[in-house]
Structure 1
Amino acid sequence: MLVLLWQYVKVIDPQQVRAALMKVGVGFGWVILSTSLAYALGTWGWWYCLGDSRTSIPKIDLFMIRHVCETVGLFNPASFAGGDMLKIVLLRPYSVSQPTVVTSVIISRILMILSQICLLILAVLWFYFHGKLPIRASLPNVSILLIAIICVSLGLIIYRILVFDFHSKKYPKLARAKARLVQVWSELNHFYRSHPKEVALAFIFFTLHWVVGSLEFYIVLKLFGYDVTVLDGLLLDMGVIAVKAAGAFVPGQIGVEELGNKIMLALVGISSIPLWLSVSALRRTRQLFWIVIGAIFYSFFIYKKRLYS
């Protein structure tokens, strides 16, 4: 993690960061405030995914654990999968059963992805019907076909594993994978049927998490004097996240996020190179701030709690 973090830090240009911070001044505090609220909403969504066991974990502890693990996911080549595995580890000291923890982590990730996809689709449709986003130019047919092929292929692989009867001696690994998938699917189905209200509330909080998080783009562009709307910020943020997902295996999404910023700013009619560099520098500065906070959470709270438990 330290090696990957160093690779991340050394590509950030201090002069660009300093220049961007001088332009926005104390307005950078609004960026931190919006992300703080977004992280809190994301924590609340995960809290509801714990079902009846959620009262066993204080929300502040869950906030710290989630933030540390999301930070790990940022630099782990396995992306959010590595961070989600760490969530399971860090929740062990609490009086919550392992199946409940695993189910909460999986269903929270599914709801986060679904809410993000819904928001992205709504934002694209809104801009398209208002004539602000030419779909043919921004989403080439080849890209759409490639995404569809990947999704269908993954679905067929999972379906094949679930329905095919693997011989445990001949295919031990596939047999174990099938047993695990069946168990997880059963737990997810049980949670959905027994806690429909919690699932709905979690989806709402995850949706709010993305909406509030997208205010970062809105605030930054406003601070630089651009006339944008909250919906502009939502489309920009959802688009950048989609680009980052394609390069999730790159630690810290070095270069990938900057490319996403450039593409999405161009889509809303902003092609200024200095602005793109400034926006990218500010977003990296925000990430560095929360990386430091995550290190503090782990060092002074979570690690000590694990030792004492």
Structure 2
Amino acid sequence: MGAEGRPVKLFHLFWVRHVGETVGIINPASIVAGEALKVYLLRNYAIEKQVVITSVLLSRVLMMATHLLSLLLITILSFAVIPALHFSFKVTGIALCVAGAIVLFIYLLILFLKQLRKTRLGNWLAVRTQKLRAKVAEANSALGTFYHTNKKDLLMACGFFMLHWALGSLELYIILHLLGTGAGFIPAMFVDMSVIVFKSAGAFIPAQIGVEEYGNKLMLAAIGLTATETWVTASLLRRARQLFWIVLGLVAYFFIDGKQTITSYKNGNPVCES
């Protein structure tokens, strides 16, 4: 949020982000609902709404980009640098086919939307979504400006996001280590990064129930861990951790939002105080 965001305490930002991510997990609208809530929870700061929206969107874009970069790097390390991992190429091939199918679906959807614009229905939708498209164009322009004026901060943010993914994979590595599987950190991170792709594909399912478990089973088999007790135990432990943070996030929401009260109006806009 640039210089305007400096008054926002890091501790408060942590809880805003966590609550937003919690809603994104349990809500069928996924990241749309989560990002909207983040903007809502930052409403009482003296920051322009467009700046807040741009920052939240930029955070999500960086998160997705660094995930793809991390997945690419860890895949190269897994297959090229450390051949002793002995991947199950059959299962890995299935996983890659699933990922390819997702990419193909997105590509075909984009082509369909482009063709839809030329139809009468497309023209009707264009008129109905004119304001929304204007907001998206405004946010896109703001993102470009943000990039040119805050390159150093963006680079630092990318570094922290890469660290975020690595530390997230550390959880799975510890679980596999405690189960005595002998899997190292590189294959554990490969599994974790790949499972996130499955979770993204099933984002419309609350908490990605079933999707994450299937991803765990498939990707653990890809690195040679086919025992049922391995993926079941890993899934249960990760779900337990997730449930704890979801409950904590829901409780935190009422504390954060309860401190923000609308006291007056200025130029037709609500003015909030903590």
TM-score with structure 2 length normalisation? 0.84
Q: Is the 8 A contact 2:91 2:219 kept in 1?
A: no
DSSP-derived class of the 1:249 partner: coil
1:61 and 2:16 aligned: no
Identify the residue that residue 209 of structure 1 maps to in structure 2.
164
Which one of the candidate residues 41, 53, 68 is aligned to 1:102? 53
- Aligned with 1:181 (options 111, 136, 147): 136
CA deviation profile, 1:199-218 (whole Å, cap 9, x unmatched): 11111111111111110100
What residue is the counterpart of 2:174 in the other structure? 219
Which amino acid in the other structure matches residue 259 of structure 2?
K
Residues 1:72 and 2:23 aligned together: yes
The 5 Å alignment of 1:119-268 reads 119-129=70-80, 130-131=82-83, 132-133=86-87, 137-140=91-94, 142-143=97-98, 145-153=100-108, 171-268=126-223
Q: 2:24–2:33: 8 Å Cα contact kept in structure 1?
A: yes
Higher relative contact order structure (alpha carbons within 8 Å, sequence separation ≥ 6): 1
Separation of aligned partners in 2, 1:222 and 1:176: 52
- Give matches, 1:285-300, under 5 Å: 285-300=240-255
Q: Provide Cα deviations, 1:167-186, integer angstroms capped at 9, x if missing partner.
A: 99994223223322221111
Which of 69-78 and 271-280 deviates more? 271-280
2-structure distance, mates of 1:168, 1:175: 10
Structure 1 stretch displaced more, 113-122 or 124-133: 124-133
Structure 1 contact 168–175 (Cα < 8 Å) conserved = no
1:91 is the counterpart of 2:42: yes
State the one-letter code of the partner of 1:247. Answer: G
Q: Conserved in 2, the CA contact under 8 Å of 1:72 and 1:83?
A: yes
Normalised to the residue count of structure 1, the TM-score between the two structures is 0.75
Count of matched residue pairs: 258
User: In the superposition, relative to structure 1, how do residues 157 and 55 fare at CA in structure 2: closer, same or farther (>3 Å)?
Assistant: farther
Q: Give 1:231 shift.
A: 1.1
% identity of equivalent residues: 38
Give ranges in structure 2 of 5+ residues lacking alignment: 262-272
- Paired with 2:55 and 2:99, the residues of 1 have a C-alpha distance of 31
Residues 157 and 107 (structure 1 numbering): CA distance in 2 closer, same or farther, change over 3 Å?
A: farther
Contact persistence 2:35–2:56 (CA under 8 A): yes
Q: Any conservation in 1 of the 2:54–2:139 contact (CA below 8 Å)?
A: yes
- Contact 2:26–2:207 (CA under 8 A) maintained in structure 1: yes
Aligned pairs for 1:267-282 within 5 A? 267-282=222-237
Residue ranges of structure 1 left out of the alignment (5+ in a row): 1-49
In the TM superposition, what is the alpha-carbon distance from 1:144 to its structure 2 partner? 5.5
Q: Which structure: greater strand fraction?
A: 2
1:161–1:174 CA contact under 8 A, matched in 2: no
Cα distance 1:142–1:304, how it changes in 2: closer, same or farther (>3 A)? closer
Q: Cα deviation per residue 1:247-268 (whole Å; 9 max; x = unaligned)? A: 1111011111111110111011
Shift of the 293–235 alpha-carbon distance from structure 1 to 2, 3 Å rule, reads: same
Q: Tell me by how many angstroms 1:138 deviates.
A: 1.7
Asked whether the equivalents of residues 173 and 183 of structure 2 are also in contact (C-alpha less than 8 Å), the reply is: yes
